[in-house]
Amino acid sequence: MNRLAPSRATRWVIAILVGAFFVVPMLSTLLYTLRDGDGFSLVHWTALLDPAKASLYAPIWAGLGNSLVLAAVTVAIVLFLLAPTMILVHLRFPRLRPGFEFLVLLPISIPAIVLVVGLAPIYQQLGRMLGTGAWTLAFAYGITVLPFAYRAIQASIDAVDIRTLTEAARSLGAGWGAVLLRVIAPNLRSGLLAASLISVAVVLGEFTIASLLNRQVFQTALLVVKNTDGYAAAVFTLLALAFAFALLIAIGLAGRARSGKAAS
Amino acid sequence: MTSPIPVRELPRTAENSLLAEAGSGTRVEFRGIVKDYGSTRVLHGLDLDIAPGEFVSLLGPSGCGKTTALRVLAGLEQANGGAVLLGDADVSGVPTNRRDIGMVFQSYSLFPHLRVLDNTAFGLRRRKVARAEAARRASDALALVGLDHLADRFPHELSGGQQQRVALARALVTEPRVLLLDEPLSALDAKVRVQLRDEIRRIQLRLGITTVFVTHDQEEALAVSDRIAVMNAGRIEQIGTPEELYLAPATPGVAAFVGLSSLVPGVGEGSTVRVWEWSLPVAGDAAAGEVEVFLRPENVRLVATGGVEAVVQESTFLGSFRRTLVRTADGVLVRVQHPASERVEYDDRVRIAVDLEPVSVRPRP
């Protein structure tokens, strides 16, 4: 037994306090959505599917659609731009890594509001070239997810001897495409999966950039609907939280599958 | 060197696609290869001509350029000058994946996500061989290294020695023109190492494939090679059969690196060198003045009378013989190899005599 470790009772107290910190607001929100006059019912939940109120909730469905498209484009940026670049840096330009890492981790220290100030003029140009579709936000989101996606992928890269695997594949006659798709990608699977899921979570939770650049996404739509129907906003908030929670569990499982395999 | 394991019965030729198509090997040639890393020159115009089907080792201390030479041959490094020829073709500008080579690496290089069979079939699949045909040939290659029963395992379920054998099968299955071995045994423990070393040689002889083997272990090189190129500081110091290198080292560097030697003082007298009371023939260039002489332990004997008086410092039992370190009256340390029956202990007084075999010398520092 480790003498420095807290006792079982202490650990329970900590777990309950921390748990309460997260659970109490969610539970309150849940109770709020179930309130119906003096009693409880599911009326606010079923209302979401009520055709009569469809126009009221339309912004949320539109925002959700936009957010999902954004998530897909952002994941594509992570998988097809960030990951290959990281592999290239690792294999060919290892000396660039410290500078590259600094650049990629930088967005985490820049508040979204500051980012928007810099992005606004760029988006004016972008609007003329590509239109003002919500999907264009993916370029900004591609920057905000960089630090998270980078850490997830780099952990995978460091866990595998990519250089030797690449050289072995090359010596066996594989072109660069086959090396990337058949050797490197499968061995970075858990890292790429974690990076993708975490990118989805970040994109679905983003509010500041979308709001200030006047794009309608899930989070901004929630705000709009909340002004007319507080219950519906609360229901969607709970659903979004549940979805993010499921994503995090999926990331955890992806990581677990990897370490379990390495340990045996 | 005797193999500690019985020779395994290899699959019969007609049934094994690899053996059925065993060819006569391809000639490999390095022509004036120069390689720089930044301002450091690691290969100084390397020339080496390897005959078809020959097993050549590149032997030398770490940093001597042997691995770089192999990587240039593989196309994993680009030379700054010179040419690499496979057969009659200059492949200097050909990318690794089109050089038709097989390579086994020092670190485990099996693809972790593929089963043993798929790992082995990888090269065939890249060459557009149909799945069933590739599986059949991969299975034959695995039989060659005695691991066809592990075809369904993943690499992490295999021991280090098994992984390197699969890597060997994977490198051979495409019937490459040349087999490159980059210290494939150095991560393995001593027993597996000897076993796999002998197995590699046996398979190489069966297939007749030209093989270049990089190692820093002289015993390994001596045991398996047709010829050994001893490298030092980016140059080949000597190339020759194991016997030539051992019995007639061209330079003191080779004498020091190949086999075990004691360095004793001597006086050069042209084609001979005087060591104590003996006049020994000099291998290589004539020597004059004060020199250091490389004495092989097996060329020094314990004698009952005559010779030089010495005191035992330590004695190691090595099975069929003992190797004993003695200090002569004039303070020189000499290694003596003698029958195990001549048992000596620390501080015993003994007499040693030197055989009149050719020796290497170098100027005394």
CA distances from residue B252 to B266, B275, B289, B336, B354 in whole angstroms, order as listed: 14, 17, 16, 20, 19
Chain A interface mutation, best of B77, B86, B107, highest count of A Cβ atoms under 10 Å: B107
**Strands, DSSP E only, in B38-177?**
40-50, 55-59, 81-86, 89-90, 101-104
Question: Are residues A19 and A131 part of one domain?
Answer: no
Q: Are the beta carbons of A170 and B105 separated by less than 8 Å? A: no
Question: Are residues A193 and A86 part of one domain?
Answer: yes
| Residue A8 clears pLDDT 60, i.e. is over it | yes
* CA angle at A120 for the pair A115 and A121, rounded to the nearest 5°: 125
Torsion over CA: B156, B161, B166, B167 (sign): positive
Q: List the single residue in B with minimal CA-CA distance to A187.
A: B113
Q: List the single residue in B with minimal CA-CA distance to A168.
A: B109
Query: Is residue A207 in a domain?
Result: yes
For chains A and B, count residue pairs whose Cβ atoms are closer than 8 Å: 71
- At B221, phi and psi to the nearest 5? -65, -45
| Residue A49 clears pLDDT 70, i.e. is over it | yes
Question: Are residues A225 and A123 part of one domain?
Answer: yes
A173-192 pLDDT per residue, tens: 999 999 999 999 999 998 99
Query: Is residue A50 in a domain?
Result: no
pLDDT of residue B8: 37
The amino acid at B320: S
pLDDT of residue A259: 46
Question: Are residues A128 and A4 part of one domain?
Answer: no
B133-183 pLDDT per residue, tens: 999 999 999 999 999 999 999 999 999 999 999 999 999 999 999 999 999
User: Which residues of chain B, if any, have pLDDT below 70?
Assistant: 1-24
Question: Are residues A205 and A162 part of one domain?
Answer: yes
pLDDT of residue A177: 93
Checking phi first, is residue B234 left (phi over 0); if not, alpha (psi -120 to 50) or beta? left
A98 Cβ partners below 8 Å, 6+ apart?
A: none
Q: Are the beta carbons of B156 and A165 separated by less than 8 Å? A: no
Direct distance between the N- and C-terminal alpha carbons of chain B, in angstroms, rounded to an integer: 35
pLDDT of residue A257: 58
Q: Are the beta carbons of B122 and A174 separated by less than 8 Å? A: yes
Q: What whole-number distance in Å separates Cα of residue B334 and Cα of residue B323?
A: 10
pLDDT, average across residues A141-165: 94
B88-135 pLDDT per residue, tens: 899 999 999 999 999 999 998 999 999 999 999 999 999 999 999 999
| B-chain residues near A175 (CB < 8 A) | 97, 126
Q: Are the beta carbons of A172 and B100 separated by less than 8 Å? A: no
pLDDT of residue A106: 93
Any B CB within 8 A of A158 CB: no
Q: What whole-number distance in Å separates Cα of residue B291 and Cα of residue B273?
A: 8
pLDDT of residue B22: 56
Question: Are residues A149 and A33 part of one domain?
Answer: no
> Can you read off the two tokens belonging to residue B209?
């494939």
The whole-angstrom distance between B126's CA and the closest CA on chain A is 6
Asked whether the beta carbons of B365 and B312 are under 8 A apart, the reply is no
> Can you read off the two tokens belonging to residue A80?
């097809």
A71-85 pLDDT per residue, tens: 999 999 999 999 999
Chain B interface mutation, best of A170, A171, A258, highest count of B Cβ atoms under 10 Å: A171
Any B CB within 8 A of A164 CB: yes
Chain A interface mutation, best of B107, B113, B115, B166, highest count of A Cβ atoms under 10 Å: B113
Own/partner pairs, B158-162, CB within 8 angstroms, 24+ separation: B158/B110, B158/B116, B159/B192, B160/B108, B160/B187, B160/B188, B160/B189, B160/B192, B161/B188, B161/B192, B161/B195, B161/B196
Q: Are the beta carbons of B123 and A262 separated by less than 8 Å? A: no
Q: Are the beta carbons of A187 and B111 separated by less than 8 Å? A: yes
- At B2, phi and psi to the nearest 5? -100, 145
Q: What whole-number distance in Å separates Cα of residue B115 and Cα of residue A224?
A: 54
CA distances from residue A206 to A212, A258, B223 in whole angstroms, order as listed: 11, 29, 66
Of B108, B113, B122, the CB nearest to A187: B113
What 8-state DSSP symbol labels residue B152?
T
Closest CA to A185 of B111, B107, B127, B75: B111
Q: Are the beta carbons of B105 and A160 separated by less than 8 Å? A: no
What is chain A's mean pLDDT, rounded?
A: 88
Of B105, B123, B167, the CB nearest to A173: B123
Q: What whole-number distance in Å separates Cα of residue B342 and Cα of residue B336?
A: 11
The whole-angstrom distance between A183's CA and the closest CA on chain B is 7
Question: Are residues A37 and A61 part of one domain?
Answer: no
Any B CB within 8 A of A185 CB: no
Own/partner pairs, A93-97, CB within 8 angstroms, 24+ separation: none
Query: Is residue A49 in a domain?
Result: no
| Residue A239 clears pLDDT 70, i.e. is over it | yes
pLDDT, average across residues A156-162: 93
Asked whether the beta carbons of B275 and B293 are under 8 A apart, the reply is yes
Q: List the single residue in A with minimal CA-CA distance to B112.
A: A187
* CA angle at B312 for the pair B311 and B318, rounded to the nearest 5°: 155
Closest CA to B116 of B145, B173, B154: B154
Q: Are the beta carbons of B101 and A261 separated by less than 8 Å? A: no
Q: What whole-number distance in Å separates Cα of residue B196 and Cα of residue B209?
A: 17
The whole-angstrom distance between B67's CA and the closest CA on chain A is 14
Helix/strand/coil percent split, chain B, to 5:
30, 35, 35
Query: Is residue A52 in a domain?
Result: no
CA dihedral of residues B40, B41, B42, B46 (deg, nearest 10): 180
Asked whether the beta carbons of B157 and B107 are under 8 A apart, the reply is no
pLDDT of residue B7: 37
Domain that holds residue A8: 1-41
ipTM: 0.81
pLDDT exceeding 90 applies to what percent of chain A? Answer: 47
Question: Are residues A105 and A9 part of one domain?
Answer: no
Helix/strand/coil percent split, chain A, to 5:
85, 0, 15
pLDDT band at A44 (very low <50, low <70, confident <90, very high): confident
Any B CB within 8 A of A172 CB: yes
User: How many domains are there within chain A?
Assistant: 2
Question: Are residues A16 and A130 part of one domain?
Answer: no
Query: Is residue A25 in a domain?
Result: yes
Q: Are the beta carbons of B171 and A172 separated by less than 8 Å? A: yes
Query: Using beta carbons and an 8 Å cutoff, which residues of B are at the interface with A?
Result: 74-76, 95-98, 100-103, 105, 107-113, 122-123, 126-127, 156-157, 167, 170-171, 174, 180
Q: Which helix (H) or strand (E) holds B113?
A: none
Query: Is residue A200 in a domain?
Result: yes
Question: Are residues A159 and A236 part of one domain?
Answer: yes
Q: Which residue has the tokens 């013989």?
A: B321
Q: Are the beta carbons of B113 and A186 separated by less than 8 Å? A: yes
Question: Are residues A147 and A197 part of one domain?
Answer: yes
B231 Cβ partners below 8 Å, 6+ apart?
A: B58, B59, B60, B64, B65, B66, B69, B237
Q: Are the beta carbons of B111 and A164 separated by less than 8 Å? A: no
Q: What whole-number distance in Å separates Cα of residue B83 and Cα of residue A47?
A: 77
Q: What is the CATH number of the domain that holds A165?
A: 1.10.3720.10
The whole-angstrom distance between A88's CA and the closest CA on chain B is 15
| Residue A263 clears pLDDT 80, i.e. is over it | no
DSSP annotation string for B244-302: HHHHS-SSHHHHHHSS--EEEEEEEEETEEEETTEEEEBSSS-EEEEEEEEE-GGGEEE
Of A164, A171, A183, the CB nearest to B96: A171
pLDDT of residue B4: 38
Which residues on adjacent β-strands are paired with residue B214? B58, B182
Query: Is residue A51 in a domain?
Result: no
Q: Are the beta carbons of A165 and B109 separated by less than 8 Å? A: yes
Any B CB within 8 A of A262 CB: yes
- How many CB atoms are closer than 10 A to CB B168? 26
Strand B178-182 and strand B210-215: the pairing is parallel
A208-221 pLDDT per residue, tens: 999 988 888 988 88
> Can you read off the two tokens belonging to residue B174?
């495409």
pLDDT band at A264 (very low <50, low <70, confident <90, very high): very low
Question: Are residues A171 and A241 part of one domain?
Answer: yes
Of A171, A172, A264, the CB nearest to B156: A264
Query: Is residue A21 in a domain?
Result: yes
> Can you read off the two tokens belonging to residue A102?
């600094």
| A-chain residues near B107 (CB < 8 A) | 161, 164
